[in-house]
Amino acid sequence: MQREDVQWSVSPRLNYSFSNTVNGGAQLQYQQTKDKVSDRGSKLFEFGINVQIAIRG
């Protein structure tokens, strides 16, 4: 049996400068895949944050 996948995803990202030494952001990913032949699929949801702190001396 041959597969025929359909897939779509969205990945917004937000970055922000809190001060001159602290930067951060957040990212989100949502993805959905479906095999049109078997009518089965999967979903992926990811969320992440990041912080960067500059240490100057």
Give the domain range for residue 37. Answer: 5-53
The model's pLDDT over 1-57, given as tens digits with 9 standing for 90+, comes to: 677 889 999 999 999 999 999 999 999 999 999 988 888 899 999 999 999 999 987
pLDDT at 5: 86
Is this model's pTM higher than 0.75 or not?
A: no
Number of domains in the chain: 1
Helix, strand, coil % over all residues of the chain, rounded to 5: 0, 70, 30
Phi, psi of 29 (to 5 degrees): -135, 130
pLDDT at 46: 97
